[in-house]
Chain A
Amino acid sequence: ETGVTQSPTHLIKTRGQQVTLRCSSQSGHNTVSWYQQALGQGPQFIFQYYREEENGRGNFPPRFSGLQFPNYSSELNVNALELDDSALYLCASSSTGTETQYFGPGTRLLVL
């Protein structure tokens, strides 16, 4: 059984640029959630995707957007990067009707 995978592992961007992060969900899971974890903090919910549609959003601006594909994989896009966007971005997958989320290793983004 393949777990949640994310790519890339690390990324360096400059302020104002755009970035796309990718996530492959665990086998059998159809729901993907994204979290931002700033240094020294707990993860914060960005949004969740189910059936290729956004299904819940945290307190993040519209420049954070996402996609889910028919194979349940997902992308997180961030436009107009700001220094405060530097963080570990975590993807978690789960199955409909369950409340347990399984996390990938994360993508560490540094914005200069």
Chain B
Amino acid sequence: AQSVTQPDIHITVSEGASLELRCNYSYGATPYLFWYVQSPGQGLQLLLKYFSGDTLVQGIKGFEAEFKRSQSSFNLRKPSVHWSDAAEYFCAVGQHGSGNTGKLIFGQGTTLQVKP
């Protein structure tokens, strides 16, 4: 069965430090992969996505992620974290639809806290 694992439930980094959030997936075919961010009480905002091609994808707000098929991973990175990046981050794998958009399977999320 398809699944997504985010091993780190909570991460704290200092402002200006680099960040890496881990995501591992289980999926039988080439996955569609996403990272979303959720601020408290808000919906999900798409940060970036991977469908095919270049395994390093750039997203909004200075985030990037690298798809590693051999490790079934899609880790999110940012070179320098800002206090406004404090939020909940979700990794998701898209199940291929039969001509339509497939459903998303989410990880449990990683809460990012940023220290001043």
Spell out B's residues near A (CB within 8 Å): 4, 32, 34, 36, 41-46, 49, 51, 90, 92, 94, 96-97, 99-109
Q: Which of B36, B42, B51, B105 contacts A99 (CB 8 A)?
A: B51
**For the complex, what is the distance from the CA of A23 to the CA of B103, rounded to whole Å?**
17
Contacting chain B: which of A13-21, A50-58, A69-77, A78-86? A50-58
Please report the C-alpha to C-alpha distance between residue A56 and residue B95 in the assembled complex, in whole angstroms. Answer: 11
> Can you list 26 contacts pairing A with B, beta carbon distance less than 8 Å?
A31-B101, A40-B108, A40-B109, A41-B109, A42-B4, A42-B90, A42-B109, A43-B44, A43-B90, A43-B106, A50-B100, A56-B97, A56-B100, A92-B104, A95-B101, A96-B99, A96-B100, A96-B101, A98-B101, A99-B51, A99-B97, A100-B34, A100-B46, A101-B104, A103-B36, A106-B43
Does A44 make an interface contact (CB < 8 A)?
A: yes
- A-B pair count, CB < 8 Å, reads 77
A48 contact set on B, CB distance < 8 A = 100-101, 103
Q: Contact size class for A?
A: 20 to 34
The residue on B at minimum CB distance from A10 is: B41
| Cα distance A95–B2 in the bound complex, in angstroms | 23
The residue from A4, A33, A44, A105 contacting B42, defined by CB atoms under 8 A apart: A105
Would you list the 6 A-B pairs with minimal beta carbon distance, nearest first?
Answer: A42-B106, A94-B101, A103-B44, A45-B103, A105-B43, A103-B43
Give, as a whole number of angstroms, the nearest-CB distance from A53 to chain B: 11
- In angstroms, how far is the closest chain A Cβ from the Cβ of B13? 21
